[in-house]
Structure 1
Amino acid sequence: MRYRRRLRSRIIISFALFGLGLTALFAVATVYMRTRLEDQLVNNTLEREVRHFVDFKRDNPDPDAPWAMSLYQAQIVRAGRIATVPLAWQKYDSGVYDIDDIGREGKIRPYKLAVYKDADYWAFLRFDISTQKLGERQLLVVLGASVLAFAIFSLLIGFWLSARVMSPVTELVQRVRAMSKSGRPELLKSHFADDEVGQLAAALDDYSTRLTEMVERDREFNADVSHELRTPLSVIASTTELLQGSPDLADKPRERLKRIERAVRQSTELIDALLLLSRRERQAPTDGETTDVAKVVEQVVDAQRPHVANKPVEVRVDIEEPLATAAPSSVVAVALSNLIGNAFKYTQAGEVIVSVGHGRVSVEDTGPGINAEDAEKLFERGVRGTQVGKGGGLGLAIVRRLCELYGWKVSLAPRPQGGATATLEFGKQTWPS
C-alpha cells in the first residue's frame, strides 16, 4: 500500500529529523573533541613534569633537595627590594597579565603572570600556558574542520531529503510531459497518494477531461461546418458553371455569374484556411509541389477588382521575379485577399501597386493611411483603424494567425507619400518558381 502523508508533513518531519540529527552529531563531535583535547593536555603536562622531575633528580641526587613544578615559577620579596626580580616583571601592578618570556630551554613561550603588591611584600607567580595555547589552536582547527565536514554532510543530506520530498512532484511533471508528447490523455490521480500532489493530479485530471471534451466538440463542429458548407458551395459552383455554358446568356447575367463564381471560390478558400487554423495543421500543397505566388496574386486582384468599381484608381501588378511557397494556394489566397481587398476598399482615388518578388508581396495604396502607432494593433482581433469605416476587424487577425502557422511575417506601415503599405514575407519556405 502506498505510503500516505501530506507533503507539508513530509517537509516538516524531514527538516525536524535533519536538524535533530545534525545537532546530535555536532554535540557528540564537540564532546569527543573536548574530551580528547583535555586528555591530550593532561597527558602532555604530566609527561613534561615527569621529564622535568627526572632531570631535576639527575642534577640533584640528594633526596631532600626541594623540587618545584616546571609550569610554575614563584618569587616573593619584601616591598621595594626588587634586585632579584626580573626587570620585565617590575613594571606590573597587582593583577594577572599575558606575557612572553624566555623559558628554561631558552625559547620564547607564552605565560600568565600574577602580581601581588602591598606595603610589606611583592609576590610574582608565572605560569606556563604554552600547552593551553596549543590546545586552543588544535581545538580551532578541529572545529573548523568539523564545520566544513558538517556543511558538506548537510548539503548531501539536503539534496537527499529534497529529492525524497519532491519526488512525487517530479513524477507528476514527468507524467504530464509524457502525456503532452504522446497526445493521449491519461488519468494521473491513480499514480499518487491522497496528499497535496494527489489533489493537484486530480485537478489536472478534471481540467484535462474538460479540455479534451471541448477540443473534441470543436473538432466535430469544424468538421460538420466544413462539410455542410462545402456541399452547397459545390452545388452553387457547378450550377454557375452550367449557366455560364449557356450560349444565349446575355453579357450582364454572365458577369454576375462570374462574380458568384469568384465568391464561391473565395468562400471555399476561406473555409480551408479556417479549418487549418482550427486544427493548427501546417498543410503543404495537395500535389506536393509549391504554390506560384504570382499566379495567386493575379487571381486575387481579379477577384477583388469589383471593390474598385468605377473609382479613379489605377491597379498595377509588378512581378519582379517568380516566387513560390510551400503552402496551399487557398491559404496564400486568403492572406493576400485581405491585404489587397483592404487596399481596394479604402482607396478612393490614386493607385494600388502590388509587387511580387524577393520573398515577399507588398501592397501599396494611396488610401487614408494608418497611424504608425496603430500598425501593430490592427492585427488584433476586433481592432480597426481610425481612418476606415465599419467592419468586424477580423481579416487582418486571420492573416496574422495564418502567418504564425506557416512561419510568415506580415506588417503594416504608413506610406511616405500618403496611404499605407502592407507586406507579406514568406520566410525560409519560399523559393523561386
Structure 2
Amino acid sequence: MRFRVAASLAALVLLVILVQSGSMVLLLHEKEEEFIEKQLGDQIEHSMALFRRSPEATLPSTPAMWLYRVGQGEPGDEVPPMFRGLAVGNHEVYLGSKEYHVAVREDERARYILAYDVEDHESRLDNLMLVTVSAALALALLTLVAGYVLAGRLTGRLERLVGRVEQEAPGPLAEAGMERELLALAEALEKYRERQRLTLEQERAFAANLSHELRTPLTGIRTDAEMLAALPDMPEAAVRRGRRIMASVDHINRLASSLLLLAREAKPAQLEEIRLQPMIESVWASLLLISPKPVALHLEIPAGSTLHADPTLFELVLRNVLDNALRYSETGEVVCRLSDSRLTVRDTGPGFAEGDLERVFDRFFVGRRGVHGLGLALVRHVCTASGWRVSARNASGGGGEITLDFGQSLLRS
C-alpha cells in the first residue's frame, strides 16, 4: 500500500510536469517558428531593396542562411534542386533529418530564394526537452522516495492495527491520536469483534446444551436396547436390531460431540503414538455395524506405522473419512494407502464434481454426491487444529479420494 501510494503520487507529479513542460515547449516552438518566419521575411525584403539600389552588392551568405537570385529568363542552375521549383511564399523543406525554412519572392527583375538552416533552433528545443524530461524524472523519483516515507508514517498505525487484529490482541483497538478515518475503522472492527465473540459464545452454549439434553434420552434408549438384546430366547433378528439401535445411538452421540467440537476450538490434548493399522481396522468394523455393505477394506500401510497425535481427535477424523468413503461405495473395496506422510482413502463412488472440490469441506454443502453434512467439515476443523492438511480430488481410476497429510507427526517403526 505504501509503495502504491508513493508510486501514484510520483506518477501524478510526473504527468503534471510533463504536460506543463510539453505545453511550454510547444508554445516556445511556435514562437521560434514565428521568429524564423519574420527573420526570413525581413532579410529577403532587405536584400531585394538593397539589390535594387546597388545590383553589385554581395548577397548574404552564412553557414545557416544563404540567398539565391535568378534573373528573368535565366535557368538558375546554381539553385539546389530542392529549392528550385518552390512557389512564391514561405516553405519548410526537409532533406533527410535536416529542416530548412525557405522564403521565395519575385519582382520585375528577378526571383529571390532565401534558405535558412534551422538546426540550431531545433537543437535548442531538443536540449530543452531533454533537460525538462530529466528534471521531471528526477523530481518524480524524489517524490516517490518522499511519498514512500510519508505514506509509511501515515500507514504505520494501520499496520499496527492490522497486526493487533491478526494476533487477536486484547484491549481496545482504537488508540489516542489516531486519524479520524483510521479511528472509525478501529471502532468498527471493535464492534465487529464484539459481535463475533457474542455469536461464538451463543453458538458454543447452544451446542453444549444440545449435547447435554440429547445424552439423557439417548442413554435410556441405548440401555433399553442393550437389555432387550441380552434377553434369553430373543430371536436373532431382534438381537441384531437391538445392536443396530445401540450403534445408531452411539452414532448420534458422536454427532452431538462433533457439533460441540465444531463450536469450540479443537486443541490436541494428550499426544500419543497411535498404530495406524489397528486403529483403521477398528473404526471400519464399527462403521459396518451401522451400515452393513458388501464393501471390503484394503490397507496398503507399512506394518508398524505410527502417528504422534491426540487419539480422540485422530479417531474422529478417521471415522468421518472412512464413513464418507463407505457411504458412497456400494461394492468393491475402500483403499487406504500410506505414502510418505500422506494417508489416502479412496472410495468406489461416483467421485466429486469438479466444481464441488473447493467446497466439500464446508458444513452441509450440497453437491453431486448429496449433502456432505458435518463430517468433512469436522475433518478440516480438526486437521487445522492439529497442524495437518486435508484435500479432496477424483481418483484416476474413478471414485473420490480424501488425502490426509500428517507432516512431521507421522512416525515409522
Superposed pair shares fold, TM > 0.5: yes
SS in 1 for 2:309: coil
Cα 1:325–1:263, aligned 2, differ >3 Å: closer, same or farther? farther
Write the letter of the residue equivalent to 2:317.
A
**Cα offset for 1:174?**
0.4
1:393 aligns with: 373
1:432 aligns with: 412
Q: 1:122 aligns with which of 105, 110, 125?
A: 110
Q: 1:205 aligns with which of 187, 190, 197?
A: 190
Write the letter of the residue equivalent to 1:321.
P
Cα 1:79–1:175, aligned 2, differ >3 Å: closer, same or farther? same
SS in 1 for 2:106: strand
1:48 aligns with: none
User: Deviation per CA, 1:344-388, whole angstroms, max 9, x where unpaired?
Assistant: 67888x6766756545364767xxx44654885765543568889
Listed as ranges, the gaps of 5+ residues in structure 2 are 1-5, 37-56
TM-score norm. by structure 1 comes to 0.55
Identity of aligned residues (%): 18
Answer yes or no: is 1:290 the counterpart of 2:240.
no
Answer yes or no: is 1:183 the counterpart of 2:181.
no
User: Deviation per CA, 1:217-253, whole angstroms, max 9, x where unpaired?
Assistant: 445666x5599579979x969x98xx99xxx997979
TM-score norm. by structure 2 comes to 0.58
Q: 2:302 aligns with which of 295, 303, 321?
A: 321
**Cα offset for 1:179?**
1.0
Cα 1:249–1:140, aligned 2, differ >3 Å: closer, same or farther? same
Cα 1:88–1:221, aligned 2, differ >3 Å: closer, same or farther? same
Answer yes or no: is 1:300 the counterpart of 2:280.
no
Cα 1:114–1:328, aligned 2, differ >3 Å: closer, same or farther? same
User: Deviation per CA, 1:99-132, whole angstroms, max 9, x where unpaired?
Assistant: 99xxxxxxxx9785644232xx2264757x45x5
SS in 1 for 2:79: helix
Paired residues of 1:98 and 1:113 also in contact (CA < 8 A): no
Q: 1:360 aligns with which of 343, 349, 360?
A: 343
Output aligned runs, 1:162-181, within 5 Å: 164=150, 168=154, 170-171=155-156, 173-181=158-166
Cα 1:215–1:378, aligned 2, differ >3 Å: closer, same or farther? closer
SS in 2 for 1:326: strand
Equivalent-residue separation in structure 2 for 1:320 and 1:413 (angstroms) = 18
The worse-fitting range, judged by mean Cα deviation, of 150-159 and 253-262 is 253-262
SS in 2 for 1:211: helix
SS in 2 for 1:408: strand
Between the two proteins, the alignment pairs up a number of residues equal to 355
**Cα offset for 1:137?**
1.4
Output aligned runs, 1:242-391, within 5 Å: 274-283=259-268, 286=270, 288-307=271-290, 313=294, 318=299, 320-322=301-303, 323-341=305-323, 355=336, 357-358=338-339, 359-360=342-343, 362=345, 369-370=349-350, 373=353, 376=357, 380-382=362-364
Paired residues of 1:115 and 1:125 also in contact (CA < 8 A): yes
**Cα offset for 1:184?**
1.5
Equivalent-residue separation in structure 1 for 2:132 and 2:393 (angstroms) = 66
Cα 1:402–1:327, aligned 2, differ >3 Å: closer, same or farther? same
Q: 1:142 aligns with which of 113, 117, 128?
A: 128
Q: What RMSD, in angstroms, separates the aligned Cα atoms of the two structures?
A: 6.0
Between structure 1 and structure 2, the one with the greater Rg is 1
User: Deviation per CA, 1:20-70, whole angstroms, max 9, x where unpaired?
Assistant: 995998599979x99xx9xxx9xxxxxxxxxxxxxxxxxxxxxxxx99977
**Cα offset for 1:209?**
2.9
Output aligned runs, 1:152-167, within 5 Å: 152-157=138-143, 160=146, 164=150
Cα 1:265–1:291, aligned 2, differ >3 Å: closer, same or farther? farther
Paired residues of 1:324 and 1:430 also in contact (CA < 8 A): yes
Q: 1:408 aligns with which of 381, 390, 404?
A: 390
Cα 1:307–1:344, aligned 2, differ >3 Å: closer, same or farther? farther
Equivalent-residue separation in structure 2 for 1:22 and 1:75 (angstroms) = 44
1:104 aligns with: none
Paired residues of 1:409 and 1:425 also in contact (CA < 8 A): yes
2:79 aligns with: 88
Equivalent-residue separation in structure 2 for 1:306 and 1:198 (angstroms) = 59
Cα 1:232–1:73, aligned 2, differ >3 Å: closer, same or farther? closer
Paired residues of 2:390 and 2:404 also in contact (CA < 8 A): yes
